[in-house]
Chains A and B, each alone.
Chain A
Amino acid sequence: MSEADFDYADVQGLVRFGYGHLKSASYSVLRIKNPAAARAWLRGALQSNAVTTAVKASPPPTTALNVAFTASGLKELGLTPVVINGFSNEFIAGMTQTSRARQLGDIEENAPAHWDWGYAAKEPHLVVMFFAEKERFDAFVQNSIGAAWKEAFHEIDSLPTADLDGVEPFGFADGISQPEIDWGQQRESKDVQLDYTNIAALGEFLLGYPNEYGKFTERPLLEADATTNELLAALDEPGKKDLGRNGTYLVMRQLDQDVRKFWQFIDKQAGGDPAERDKLAAAMVGRKTDGEPLVPIRNEPIPGIDEKQASKNQFTFDDDPAGARCPFGAHVRRANPRNADFPERPANTLKKLITIAGFGPNRFRYDLMSSVRFHRILRRGREYGPSVKLLEALAPPPSDDPPRGLHFVCLNANISRQFEFLQNAWIASTKFAGVTGESDPLLGNRQSLPGCPVTANFTMPGSSSLPRRVSGLPQFVTVRGGAYFFLPSLRALRYFAVVENA
């Protein structure tokens, strides 16, 4: 199938677009008050084509609306446990399950019990995401919610977003690197991927299609009957109807960023020297404020990174094996180590076998990383709160300093292998890539672990000198809310809209 033939009309737009041109957005985090009214609202939204699809429109839409449900929301809506149990366990259990929260680093200050939303009575059933051009926004929201809304939903929170012009609150260009979805499933499925590729199998980001293993991720497969008539057949089990197909999971986390604390800490470390300050901040992030990477751009193209993105993304860390340019612990290196299935591209089968046997180069950091292609996410987050200029950030805060941060939103077909792995094994890990005593310099919770009293370091390896270590990093980012949602296909939405104890 070619990319053009893909049934984009069945996919919610957020999978394909970030709607960057729609500068206003808000996320309504809702509980269902009245299931019948909720279904009525959904029917209304579908009938009026209010739910925006992934079809490319020209000109692009001036408004967009997407909707996603939690497992408890699906239950509330009327889906039976049998159907819901077809979804992945992590989706069903949710982000706030104690053991899961521990794995994600959501303890102490980050603990769900302190969240503004997402926990216990404030666990949402669904999120409705509104995007529009600034001047149209209020009218669009009013128009979209309609008459049934109040009767259907109880609003836990309406999360406003801010347009910081592509810059996150700390002041760094954001959302630069995204995987490229192989919509046409053109990429040859390979057992072994020897080079870093930015193209990801469709099944990594949409349920119902082969993933990077060439297999299907779990999702509810229903019996074919009158109620499921409209759903597509499962590609791997044609006799069954695939409720997951063209849908995916949406992970949402509200991350409060203490911008002042961040810059004040860095300023102190830099002794007030602006150049040093920029250098340290860039080392922590792994990019300069304008997004320029710290490692050189390669000459050879990388699949899935076009010419437009080359200046920011055509690089891997193979050119920086010692971490002298971009520290191992830098945020972007943790979030995407840009590697392949083998370290240092084995030239032939013999070299591959030597690596498999564990007899590659006897270097400390050789082959420590997992292959990134199984752990990619699509980020669709938006900032909130007013921006702070650097000089303001260095000054003492006013008494009414409003909160600011990121509504982190990511999409993935397998929450445990993608988002959770990334958060647990790479971002929150104090042992990532052979480092010790440090977690993500931006996101780390700085909590000690038994036997590891210190996790608040940040190490910058030198090319020909001792590594430089910064210690005592405070916690800059606090989790304020979060949930796992299912972002259904349009067909699944239509099924939800009429479902009653199905």
Chain B
Amino acid sequence: MTPQSGFMVLAPINPERETELRQLLDSMNDGPGQVNPNNALIPFAQFEELHFARLLILDDNSLKDRAIYGLPGDFPLQFAFLGDIDGEEETFLKELAQRAPEGLRRLFSCCRDFDPDCDLLAWMKRHRSLAIASFVNCRGRTVRRIREEAQLRETLDRYLTEKAATLAQMSPREVHAKLSEFVAAEKSAGRLTLSGESPTPIAWWIGNTLHMICLPLLVLLALPVLLLALPFYLIRVRYLEKTDVEICPKVDPAYSEMLAVAEDHFVTNQYTAFGSRKPGLVRLLTMIGALSVVNYAARHITRPGHLGRIRTIHFARWVFLDGKERMIFFSNYDGSVESYMDDFINKTGFGLNAAFGSAIGYPRTRWFLFDGCADERKFKNFNRRHTIPTQVWYKATAYLGLTAVDLDRNSRIRKGVEKPSMSDAEAREWVALL
């Protein structure tokens, strides 16, 4: 199995070059929200391991909210380049530096500490930013596998149309046998490829297993202390929840429209939310705790294709900035932002509250998990205000028109095709996918 990973390069922008950087980013697009996958700066389409990528200027609209807590609001404007890939971050950065050195240098030269003579790869690695939590829809599902499975479905689709009359007379098991036979023939004729899984990198496997075991172990070890501290912690949290300020004014329509012009050009959308954490140790611990749980669950517990009840997210990640004072959330999801938010509020409201409740201005929560986003209007206002424009966003052209649910269907079709035999019930369910 080839695991997926993420990369993120983050660097402060040279204020004198901000305009130039914005122009460069614009030049990568055919239109707002529509990247040219073969643009001159970073020809994304050439990178076969790349699922999603985005380049953006981290403009924080909510900096002035920090004044409520007496926090300073002056941070340098930063530039981020991040993506989700098959395989190791290191390998991918190397490939990037090799294939798009000029484009990357032009972009990064707008950052404060970029020396034109520097080693590009080393510079990028120095500016890596790690996620505190991340979610991969289906670990091991590489771009290549997605492409092959999509081709499988298309091939089957054509065959089904051609042979509709014959196949309509067959029982599901007969259909399955017939299609398996057809696929085998296509494969041996070299018209269809369904690659097997690559071996799981041993280092990754060890790291992952250690992570799976050690985190609960640590919690277990710390349990006596945690239990002792719990009552004080809860009292404090509840007090804070009752006294914290909500900042959920009506959305500025011009701002919202500026975001909207870049949305809904594809079946999948990007989402970037940026904000500050409420001050204090309790909030810091709450946030780290909540996101560690999210990360652990996403890595070791969730069923492939599911973030709880949500089945529309391809990749998501949470990143701390500025010594954990600010946090940014990136996701790639299917459908419109309205349906995305409704899904979250109605299906996983508690998760939303846990993951974002420590942000300044978030709608009032009750015991971390409750209320909060259940005030739909406040939450949507809060959310849109914290959404920032993503100047460049790329989704692998191999599956541009496919949703996460489509990918799930294609994987199920493939699994079925590779199954030597099926029960009647299995065959019925499988045939219904076609």
Contact among B160, B263, B301, B412 for A99, CB-based, below 8 A: B263
Taken together as a complex, chains A and B put the C-alpha atoms of A371 and B376 apart, in Å, by 14
| B406:A420 contact, CB within 8 angstroms | no
| A431:B265 contact, CB within 8 angstroms | no
The total of interchain contacts (Cβ-Cβ below 8 angstroms) comes to: 148
Taken together as a complex, chains A and B put the C-alpha atoms of A471 and B161 apart, in Å, by 10
| A425:B338 contact, CB within 8 angstroms | yes
| B308:A417 contact, CB within 8 angstroms | no
In chain B, positions 393-434 with a C-beta closer than 8 Å to chain A are 397, 399-403, 405-406, 408-409, 412, 428-429, 431-434
Query: CB-CB < 8 A to A371: which residues of B?
Result: 346
Query: What is the minimal beta-carbon distance from A70 to any residue of chain B, in angstroms?
Result: 15
| B338:A421 contact, CB within 8 angstroms | yes
Residue B64 interfacial (CB < 8 Å): no
Contact among A217, A355, A449, A465 for B172, CB-based, below 8 A: A465
Query: CB-CB < 8 A to B187: which residues of A?
Result: none
Taken together as a complex, chains A and B put the C-alpha atoms of A429 and B408 apart, in Å, by 18
Contact among A358, A430, A467 for B309, CB-based, below 8 A: A358
In chain B, positions 214-265 with a C-beta closer than 8 Å to chain A are 250-251, 253, 256-257, 260-261, 263-265
Query: CB-CB < 8 A to B309: which residues of A?
Result: 355-356, 358, 367
Query: CB-CB < 8 A to A403: which residues of B?
Result: none
| B251:A89 contact, CB within 8 angstroms | yes
Q: If the complex has contacts A99-B264, A429-B335, are A363 and B429 also in contact, measured as CB distance less than 8 A?
A: yes
Size band of the A side of the interface? 35 or more
Taken together as a complex, chains A and B put the C-alpha atoms of A450 and B342 apart, in Å, by 25
> Which partner residue on chain A sits nearest B260 by CB separation?
A99
Residue A190 interfacial (CB < 8 Å): no
Taken together as a complex, chains A and B put the C-alpha atoms of A420 and B403 apart, in Å, by 21
| A362:B408 contact, CB within 8 angstroms | no
Query: CB-CB < 8 A to B306: which residues of A?
Result: 358-359
In chain A, positions 340-399 with a C-beta closer than 8 Å to chain B are 341, 355-359, 362-364, 367-368, 370-371, 374
Residue A102 interfacial (CB < 8 Å): yes
| A431:B267 contact, CB within 8 angstroms | yes
> Which partner residue on chain A sits nearest B265 by CB separation?
A450
| B339:A430 contact, CB within 8 angstroms | no
| A466:B175 contact, CB within 8 angstroms | yes
| A416:B338 contact, CB within 8 angstroms | yes
Residue A178 interfacial (CB < 8 Å): no
Residue A452 interfacial (CB < 8 Å): yes
Query: CB-CB < 8 A to B335: which residues of A?
Result: 425, 429, 431
In this complex, which of B265, B376, B431 has the most chain A Cβ atoms within 10 angstroms of its Cβ? Answer: B376
A-contact bits for B300-319, CB 8 A (1 contact / 0 none): 01110011111100000000
| A464:B256 contact, CB within 8 angstroms | no
Residue B377 interfacial (CB < 8 Å): yes
Query: What is the minimal beta-carbon distance from A330 to any residue of chain B, in angstroms?
Result: 16
Contact among B257, B334, B338, B434 for A431, CB-based, below 8 A: B334
> Which partner residue on chain A sits nearest B399 by CB separation?
A451
Residue A191 interfacial (CB < 8 Å): yes
Main secondary structure of the interface of A (DSSP, over half): loop
> Which partner residue on chain A sits nearest B373 by CB separation?
A213
Q: If the complex has contacts A356-B309, A371-B346, A469-B161, are A364 and B403 also in contact, measured as CB distance less than 8 A?
A: no
Q: If the complex has contacts A217-B377, A371-B346, A425-B336, are A467 and B432 also in contact, measured as CB distance less than 8 A?
A: yes
Query: What is the minimal beta-carbon distance from A481 to any residue of chain B, in angstroms?
Result: 22
> Which partner residue on chain A sits nearest B266 by CB separation?
A450
Q: If the complex has contacts A450-B265, A465-B168, are A434 and B405 also in contact, measured as CB distance less than 8 A?
A: yes
B-contact bits for A163-180, CB 8 A (1 contact / 0 none): 000000000000000000
Contact among B256, B311, B406, B428 for A89, CB-based, below 8 A: B256
Contact among B167, B343, B397, B429 for A370, CB-based, below 8 A: B343
Residue B90 interfacial (CB < 8 Å): no
Residue A34 interfacial (CB < 8 Å): no
Taken together as a complex, chains A and B put the C-alpha atoms of A468 and B311 apart, in Å, by 26
A-contact bits for B361-404, CB 8 A (1 contact / 0 none): 00000000000001111000000000000000000010111110
| A364:B374 contact, CB within 8 angstroms | no
Contact among B257, B260, B301, B409 for A364, CB-based, below 8 A: B409
| B401:A452 contact, CB within 8 angstroms | yes
In chain A, positions 77-96 with a C-beta closer than 8 Å to chain B are 85, 89, 92-93
| B339:A358 contact, CB within 8 angstroms | no
Taken together as a complex, chains A and B put the C-alpha atoms of A151 and B126 apart, in Å, by 72
Query: What is the minimal beta-carbon distance from B426 to any residue of chain A, in angstroms?
Result: 12
| B399:A218 contact, CB within 8 angstroms | no
In chain A, positions 244-272 with a C-beta closer than 8 Å to chain B are none
| B343:A434 contact, CB within 8 angstroms | no
A-contact bits for B336-358, CB 8 A (1 contact / 0 none): 10110011001110000000000
Residue B171 interfacial (CB < 8 Å): yes
| A368:B405 contact, CB within 8 angstroms | yes
Residue A33 interfacial (CB < 8 Å): no
| B267:A451 contact, CB within 8 angstroms | yes
Taken together as a complex, chains A and B put the C-alpha atoms of A358 and B7 apart, in Å, by 27
Query: CB-CB < 8 A to B308: which residues of A?
Result: 356-358
> Which partner residue on chain B sits nearest A416 by CB separation?
B338
| B428:A359 contact, CB within 8 angstroms | no
Query: What is the minimal beta-carbon distance from A454 to any residue of chain B, in angstroms?
Result: 9
| A466:B343 contact, CB within 8 angstroms | no
Contact among A98, A213, A461 for B432, CB-based, below 8 A: A461
Taken together as a complex, chains A and B put the C-alpha atoms of A389 and B294 apart, in Å, by 59
| B260:A100 contact, CB within 8 angstroms | yes
Q: If the complex has contacts A97-B257, A431-B406, are A466 and B401 also in contact, measured as CB distance less than 8 A?
A: no
| B261:A99 contact, CB within 8 angstroms | yes
Residue A447 interfacial (CB < 8 Å): no
Q: If the complex has contacts A215-B376, A358-B307, A451-B399, are A431 and B405 also in contact, measured as CB distance less than 8 A?
A: yes
> Which partner residue on chain B sits nearest A371 by CB separation?
B346
Residue A185 interfacial (CB < 8 Å): no
Contact among A92, A341, A421 for B339, CB-based, below 8 A: A421
| A464:B172 contact, CB within 8 angstroms | yes
Query: CB-CB < 8 A to B431: which residues of A?
Result: 462, 465-467
Query: What is the minimal beta-carbon distance from A91 to any residue of chain B, in angstroms?
Result: 10
> Which partner residue on chain A sits nearest B341 by CB separation?
A417
| A431:B342 contact, CB within 8 angstroms | no
| B339:A424 contact, CB within 8 angstroms | yes
In this complex, which of B266, B428, B432 has the most chain A Cβ atoms within 10 angstroms of its Cβ? Answer: B432
Residue A46 interfacial (CB < 8 Å): no
Taken together as a complex, chains A and B put the C-alpha atoms of A410 and B154 apart, in Å, by 39
Q: If the complex has contacts A100-B260, A465-B168, are A417 and B376 also in contact, measured as CB distance less than 8 A?
A: yes
In chain B, positions 127-173 with a C-beta closer than 8 Å to chain A are 160-161, 164, 167-168, 170-172
Taken together as a complex, chains A and B put the C-alpha atoms of A449 and B164 apart, in Å, by 26
Q: If the complex has contacts A368-B405, A436-B406, A466-B175, are A451 and B339 also in contact, measured as CB distance less than 8 A?
A: no
Query: What is the minimal beta-carbon distance from B181 to any residue of chain A, in angstroms?
Result: 16
Query: CB-CB < 8 A to B167: which residues of A?
Result: 466
| B339:A468 contact, CB within 8 angstroms | no
Taken together as a complex, chains A and B put the C-alpha atoms of A451 and B34 apart, in Å, by 13
Residue A103 interfacial (CB < 8 Å): yes
| A215:B377 contact, CB within 8 angstroms | yes
> Which partner residue on chain A sits nearest B305 by CB separation?
A358
> Which partner residue on chain A sits nearest B153 by CB separation?
A436
Residue A322 interfacial (CB < 8 Å): yes
B-contact bits for A307-342, CB 8 A (1 contact / 0 none): 000000000000000100000000000000000010
Taken together as a complex, chains A and B put the C-alpha atoms of A213 and B378 apart, in Å, by 12
| A374:B401 contact, CB within 8 angstroms | no
7 contacts between A and B (CB under 8 A): A98-B261, A99-B260, A364-B412, A417-B376, A449-B267, A451-B266, A466-B160
Which 4 pairs, one residue from A and one from B, show the smallest C-beta to C-beta distance? A451-B401, A451-B400, A358-B306, A452-B401
